[in-house]
Chain A
Amino acid sequence: METLLGRYRNLIVLAAILFAQLIALAVQVKRPTQEGEIRLIRVWAIAAVTPFERAVVHTQNFFHDKWTGYVWLRGVRRENDDLKAEIERMKLEQARLSEDAKMARRIQTLLAFKEQYIDQTVAAQVIGTSGSEQSRVLYIDKGSNDGLKPDMAVITPTGIVGKIVQVSANSAQVLPINDQLSGVGAALKDSRLQGILKGAPNGTTTLQYIMSDEPVKPGETVITSGGDRIFPKGLLVGTVASVEPGKDLFLNIRVIPSARLDRLEEVLVVTKIEEKLPDTKDLGPIRASDILGERLPGVPPPDANAAGGATAPAGAGNVSGGSPTKPAAGGTATQSAPNTAVGSMGPRLGASAGAVSPKPGATQATKPAPGATLTKLPGGTTTATPAERKPSVTTPAQTQATPNTDQPKAPHPNAPPATQPNTGETPPQ
């Protein structure tokens, strides 16, 4: 027996080490959420490696800053002139866009449209990776001491990067969007089709769960949809590189991320997102069309339908003509007379904007004088339930152009006004 052990000692040791690691693997697979000692080894490894990485990166940056800030100034004057010219051009563009922005914010306010704002960010530097081809995680030089927590969004000015998965005192692990475990709620900017952006083992990213009959073209911009509750809505994700038919009636849409995920140096960690109404203090007087839109009939209660059958039932129709990826609920189709503004609402409006109800007996809209300004009337109230997600907004023009033929039509403006008390109920999504 002793001879046997001595003869096969090497193999026995090999088998024992492999067996121990197989058991460790099995434990992780069986209980992936319970970390315990497994987590400890990760902490040790990170604590052993990241200080060196931090030191090298900071030293490198120190010398680089000194060199580029004090010595290597070739071309700075010309760059300065170019930037000044660009600022002038941007000022002109800003003036042009500010009017559009003001109008959009007025509409958002009328709909109690809660906007997600990035309130606070922490700048961090990428100090390392996992070093393997299979895992694409990154390490940044900020951790829990800087207020970082798991599931915070990591972005760059050019696009989103990923989310934080693990935090230690002075470093954090980031799961980039091209990792195979990553999933981001994304939408096509123009068509507003929503899907999930997933990474692949080879490092590519694909937008999944878009029906194959949807017209998606290469070059379209992909933005965050906000559906994952990590990334605020509207951040740039990337552009569509190719579109191919995939499995199960879904398209296989390959997306090139806007952020250079393979050469990241500095990133921003979104540490605070605030959900609030847009600030309308500086927007000037409220226009007549806004007030009318607020006061005209919106979502009527069921008993109003029973009484006159005049307006479309709440939560029944989708004004914008839903696509398979958009939830169809809560929209109303209200047919209005020309020259009257109607606060129409897109999908899921009922969840966040509530019902726009007029004061009894005051639903008849009259044509305002062009350019007239009005003050808010006390009767026209807009109630809102706590917002979960932001609704899509359909402009009045769109609503009139695409009436929902499946639903009963709203009353003609000349019909007797229906009394619509606001019940404050949230229609089902």
Chain B
Amino acid sequence: MTTRAMPFRGSYTSREQMAAYEFNWLAIVLIPLLAIFVQAFFTAKLRWLAIVDLPMMVVIFFAVARRNPISGCVTGAIIGLVQDALGGPAHPIGMYGITDTIIGYLASSLGVKIDVDNPGTRFLIVYAFYAIHEGVYFGVGRGLLRQPLLWSWSHVAIAALANALVGVFLFRFLDRFKQR
């Protein structure tokens, strides 16, 4: 039993819902690696699958499950940096790192305040965080690095929808690795 109660600081959830989960260290290492591997492998076969961002969903999942902003930041930073490292020369290391760090922090902060085990909530969380993720990435790439990135509201909306749908099922699968 590794459940621990979070301090009550204006949360909208009950203490039961605020229980933070922990994970086996093997799961902490292998799940992000597997997500990155699947992302890299299947997009080679079907390019359009790149709209689904599995590593980002893993960041969100770990962040909201642990409800610890520091671990959320660190998890996001590490996963993002590995994603960056696989990118080409047009992809400086740190773009996904910064984006996923912010996502990890926001997701864990949000996890403290609301019920994140409900599928409907999960759908909305992933939808919103995907949009934030794209916005931050665009801001870093365009604002800091002057990269010729394109922004399309419709693309972001559709991709967020796809990610949210996948996220609901992925979170349900990843729930098996929770320890409480």
**CB-defined interface of A41-56 with B at 8 Å, one 1/0 digit per residue?**
1101110110011001
The reply to whether the CB of A132 lies closer than 8 angstroms to some CB of chain B is yes
Cβ A10 vs Cβ B37 within 8 A: no
In the complex, whether B141 has a CB less than 8 A from a CB of chain A is yes
Which residues of A sit under 8 angstroms from B45, Cβ to Cβ? 263
Q: Does B87 contact A (CB under 8 A)?
A: yes
Which residue on B lies nearest to A25, using beta carbons?
B94
Choose, from A12-20, A79-87, A372-380, A406-414, the stretch at the interface. Answer: A12-20
| B150 close to chain A: CB less than 8 A | yes
Nearest to A44 among chain B residues (CB) is B85
**Do residues A165 and B89 form an inter-chain contact, with CB atoms below 8 A?**
yes
Q: Is A133 an interface residue (CB 8 A)?
A: yes
Given A13-B70, A131-B50, A263-B47, the answer on whether A175 and B89 have CB atoms closer than 8 Å is: yes
Question: Which residues of chain A have C-beta atoms less than 8 A from B82's C-beta?
Answer: 45, 48
Residues of B within 8 A of A129 (CB): 40, 43-44, 47, 50
Assess the B41–A14 pair: CB atoms within 8 A. no
Contacts of A261 in B (CB 8 A): 47
Interface centre among A17, A22, A48, A264, by most B CB within 10 Å? A17
Contact of B73 among A17, A28, A56, A262 (CB under 8 A): A17
Complex interface bits, A171-214 against B, C-beta within 8 A gives 1, otherwise 0: 00101000111000000000000000000111100000000000
A264 cross-chain contacts in B, Cβ below 8 A: 44
Asked if A181 and B74 sit within 8 Å, CB to CB, the answer is no
How far does the Cβ of B73 sit from chain A's closest Cβ, in whole Å?
Answer: 5
Contact B87 A132 (CB under 8 A): yes
Q: Is A128 an interface residue (CB 8 A)?
A: yes
Instruction: Looking at the assembled complex, report how far the CB atom of A139 sits from the nearest CB atom of chain B, in whole angstroms.
Output: 7
Please indicate the chain A residues that have their CB under 8 angstroms from the CB of B41 in the complex: 52-53, 56, 127-128
| A116-146 at interface with B (beta carbon < 8 Å) | 126-139
B83 in complex: contacting residue of A22, A56, A126, A132, CB < 8 Å: A132
**Would you call A90 an interface residue if the criterion is a C-beta within 8 Å of the partner chain's C-beta atoms?**
no
Q: Which residues of A contact B51 (CB under 8 A)?
A: 133
Q: B37 near A173 (CB under 8 angstroms)?
A: no
Q: Which residue of B lies closest to A125 (CB)?
A: B44
With known contacts A14-B69, A41-B81, A49–B40 Cβ distance under 8 A: yes
Contact A165 B40 (CB under 8 A): no
Contact of A14 among B85, B90, B93, B101 (CB under 8 A): B101
Known contacts: A14-B73, A130-B40. The answer to whether A28 contacts B92 by CB under 8 A is: yes
User: Chain A residues with Cβ under 8 A from B77's Cβ?
Assistant: 17, 21
Let me know if B86 and A131 touch, CB within 8 A: yes
B33 contacts the other chain (Cβ, under 8 Å)?
Answer: yes
Cβ of A64 within 8 Å of any chain B Cβ, yes or no, is no
Contacting residues, chain B, for A44 (C-beta < 8 A): 85
The yes or no answer to B58 lying at the interface (CB within 8 A) is: no
Task: Assess whether B88 is in contact with A202, with CB atoms less than 8 Å apart.
Answer: no
Chain A residues with CB below 8 A from B69, complex form:
10, 13-14
A17 to chain B, nearest CB (A): 5
* Residue B127 CB within 8 A of the other chain: no
Chain B residues near A135: list those with CB within 8 A: 87-88, 90-91
Q: Least Cβ distance of B134 to chain A in Å? A: 9
Q: Is B105 part of the binding interface, using a Cβ–Cβ cutoff of 8 Å? A: yes
A362 at interface by CB-CB < 8 Å: no
Q: Give bound CA distance, A38 to B40, whole Å.
A: 20
Residues of A within 8 A of B149 (CB): 134, 201
Q: Give the size of the chain B interface in residues (CB under 8 angstroms).
A: 50
A131 to B8 alpha-carbon distance, docked (Å): 39
| Cβ–Cβ < 8 Å partners of A181 in chain B | 88-90
- CB pair A130–B91 under 8 Å, yes or no, is yes
Q: From known contacts A14-B101, A134-B91, infer whether A49 and B37 are also in contact, taking CB-CB under 8 Å.
A: yes
Docked Cα-Cα span, A17 to B141, in Å, equals: 18
User: CB-CB < 8 A to A136: which residues of B?
Assistant: 88
CB distance from A87 to the nearest CB of B (A): 32
Residue with the highest number of chain B CB atoms closer than 10 Å, among A38, A53, A135: A135
Q: Is B88 touching A137 in the complex (CB atoms < 8 A)?
A: yes
Q: Mark each residue of chain B from 6 to 35: 1 if its CB lies under 8 Å from any CB of chain A, else 0.
A: 000000000000000000000000000100
Q: Is A217 an interface residue (CB 8 A)?
A: no
Contact partner of B93 (CB less than 8 A), chosen from A18, A38, A139, is A38
Q: Are B145 and A29 in contact (CB under 8 A)?
A: yes
Determine if A29 and B92 form an interchain contact, defined as CB atoms under 8 angstroms apart. yes
Per-residue A-contact encoding for B83-110, CB less than 8 Å = 1, 0 else? 1011111111111111001100100010
Contacts of B140 in A (CB 8 A): 25
B73 close to A131 (CB less than 8 A): no
Select B40's contact among A21, A29, A53, A175, beta carbons within 8 Å: A53
**What are 24 inter-chain pairs, A to B, with CB distance below 8 A?**
A13-B69, A13-B70, A18-B98, A21-B81, A24-B93, A24-B97, A25-B140, A29-B92, A41-B81, A49-B86, A52-B41, A126-B44, A129-B44, A130-B91, A131-B36, A131-B39, A131-B40, A132-B87, A132-B91, A134-B149, A137-B91, A138-B44, A263-B45, A263-B47
Other than A13-B69, A18-B102, A49-B37, give 20 A-B pairs with Cβ distance below 8 A: A10-B105, A14-B102, A14-B105, A21-B77, A25-B94, A25-B95, A25-B140, A41-B93, A45-B85, A53-B40, A53-B41, A130-B83, A132-B91, A134-B141, A137-B87, A165-B88, A166-B89, A181-B88, A202-B150, A263-B45
Shortest 4 CB-CB distances between A and B: which pairs? Answer: A45-B85, A137-B88, A262-B47, A131-B39
